Amino acid sequence: MKTSVTLLCVFFLVLFPLVACGGDPTTTTGTHITKIQTGSGFDSHGNTVQGENNSFGVGETIYVVFTVNTTDKNALVTLRILHSGVLEDTSIPLAIQQGEHIYNKPIDIHAAGKYSIKAEYNNNDEASIEFSAN
């Protein structure tokens, strides 16, 4: 009985807030890359992702939108695109401005399956997001 109560408490304290607060267990962020999203578009005037989703169609262009906050004037962010765990592409390192700024990177989806975007800040893994393509 005590084990059941403990497991129930773990559910409500850990898993329930993720669901109730819109948390996504397939997204991680770090100290400098504080947000990462995928969507079907990017609004450059409002600096926001459009059509935020984690499922897309083959042949679509999706947008990886991420927020970086840094004081390092020489910071670089590189995105690695993995398809079913295999490296498919690596972006050219993007020079990051000091302060908090939002960046976007369009990506063409060529095949169905599970995808993962790994964002490196100064050559260190810092953020990731997963999505699927049908």
Tell me the pLDDT tens digit for each residue of 107-134: 999 999 999 999 999 999 999 999 999 9
Confidence of residue 1 (pLDDT cuts 50, 70, 90): low
Q: Is the pLDDT of residue 11 over 80?
A: no
- Domains by residue range for the chain, with CATH: 25-133 (2.60.40.10)
- How do residues 19-44 score in pLDDT, each as one tens digit? 444 445 589 999 999 999 999 999 99
In the chain the beta strands, taken as DSSP E runs, fall at: 27-28, 33-39, 41-43, 48-50, 55-56, 61-70, 76-83, 86-90, 94-95, 99-108, 113-121, 124-133
Q: Is the pLDDT of residue 14 over 50?
A: no
pTM, two decimals, is 0.79
- Average pLDDT rounded to a whole number, residues 37-57: 94
Q: Is the pLDDT of residue 7 over 50?
A: no
**pLDDT (0 to 100) of residue 117:** 97
**Strand pairing of 76-83 and 86-90?**
antiparallel
- How do residues 69-106 score in pLDDT, each as one tens digit? 999 999 999 999 999 999 999 999 999 999 999 999 99
**pLDDT (0 to 100) of residue 3:** 45
